Amino acid sequence: MFEHLDDPSPPEPTAHDVAAVFARSAALTRRRATSTFAVAGLGILILGVVIGLVVPRSPSAMRVTDLALHAGVLATGLPVPTTDVVGAVFPDDQHGFALTVGSGKAALVATSDGGDTWQVVQGDLPVDSEAQLDFTSLAHGYLWGGSPSNSGALPLWVTDDGGQSWAEAPIGPVVSDVSAIGLDVWAVAGTCPLSSTTGASSCPVDLEVSADGGVTWSLSAAAPPLFESSQPSYSDQDVELARMTLAHAYVLTFDPAGENPGLERLVYTADGGQSWTVLPDPCAASYAYSEIAGSGTDDLWLICATPPSAGAQAKALYRSYDGGMTWALTSTTGNSPLPATGGLPAAGYVAPASLGHYNLAVTSAAQAWLFPDRGSVYETTDGGHTWRMVQGLVAAGFSGIGTNGNVVFADATHGWVDEPGVGIWRTTNATSWQQLGT
């Protein structure tokens, strides 16, 4: 999606705003590319060790190949290779932010040249590498998710200075998803902390809203009629917020264990959370995993999937053209009781078996990209009826290694695919792709 169907600024959305209305789907495993060093002889090796110990180096002088060997917090300004970049988001076609890991410590990195080069902005983030990230401008950004605290909390962190400093938002305790349109921010949160106790009950979901970029918050007039499991899950992100405009949004919950049959899973608000409408769920009981995206308030894409197994999930794509009131089965991988049709890939995982909402990027009612974790990148140009591997990426040398990657678009033509340990690819015309950082 384009940053979660996030950013149309009233009264007329900009090109980025319209695009940003469609995205969010991220990475659980942070693989760092390691470097191989050749040595000419024992004397040179000893000399190099001595120099490394006694001669200090500035961040700009440190070679990017040293990143995988770095033992502490990454210094501001340190260049980072594209193979170490994960979870990239782009508020426009040139500027982006991402997470990376330098020896177990998550760092925020940024680019100003469309993703070709990256430098550390903040090397000591208050989250781990499994967190989710979003920036709606060069200044305003949000971090949430990852590993819960000892008290079972998963807070939201907010920046207004491009990621140099972060403040904890007074909401929660378990923030599952965030969507910002300019300074207007929504967050869905579980109302009780995560618990490792077997049989812990589910908790109601709140919608928290901020009109000042996350500085102050209040509860919406009505809470979405949904529940979130308090058991730690694979991603600990069991609620998805798909926001279309300032007032229109969909909220989807997951029930992977099938513990709560009959509870609502998909709801919609057209009035900024003043009231909610329960929508029909087209997913079969065995397809409890889901991901939602769309190209507008009424045009929705819903991928239903079975529990992950051996690197694959059976998947089914449903489309709605009336805001979720009715659904039509569009393509499937084939799994009882659904026949295979359309080439939807079985390989790879979608949410919530993958972290976040950067698996599915929808750019129009006809065109979308799908990058399941541990799978390959696929595209459709006929509204999801047929899917094929993205040939432009293959031609540009992309070959995934089965880790967790993202596909995001800043607008209808500028998109990126990133996979840790592999690198970043970019398109500026939604057809041809280029490997970055080479």
Check: CB of residue 387 under 8 Å from CB of residue 380.
yes
Query: Does residue 1 form part of some domain?
Result: no
List the single range of 153-162, 292-301, 384-393 with lowest mean pLDDT: 292-301
CATH, residue 359: 2.130.10.10
List the single range of 351-355, 380-384, 407-411, 416-420 with lowest mean pLDDT: 351-355
Check: CB of residue 212 under 8 Å from CB of residue 194.
no
List the single range of 99-103, 206-210, 293-297 with lowest mean pLDDT: 99-103
Q: What domain range is 44 assigned to?
A: 15-435
Count of C-beta atoms within a 10 Å radius of residue 49: 10
Whole-angstrom distance, CA of residue 425 vs CA of residue 31: 17
pLDDT given for residue 330 in this prediction: 96
Residue 362 has pLDDT above 90, yes or no: yes
Residue 394 has pLDDT above 60, yes or no: yes
Strand positions, DSSP E, 136-194: 141-145, 156-159, 167-168, 174-181, 184-190
Sole residue written with tokens 């149309």: 8
Query: Does residue 191 form part of some domain?
Result: yes
> The pTM is what?
0.82
Domains in the chain, number = 1
Query: Does residue 372 form part of some domain?
Result: yes
Query: Does residue 6 form part of some domain?
Result: no
Query: Does residue 2 form part of some domain?
Result: no
Beta-bridge partners for 295: none
| Residue range 343-353, pLDDT digits in tens | 999 998 886 66
Query: Does residue 248 form part of some domain?
Result: yes
pLDDT given for residue 110 in this prediction: 98
307: cis peptide before it, omega within 30°?
no
Query: Does residue 380 form part of some domain?
Result: yes
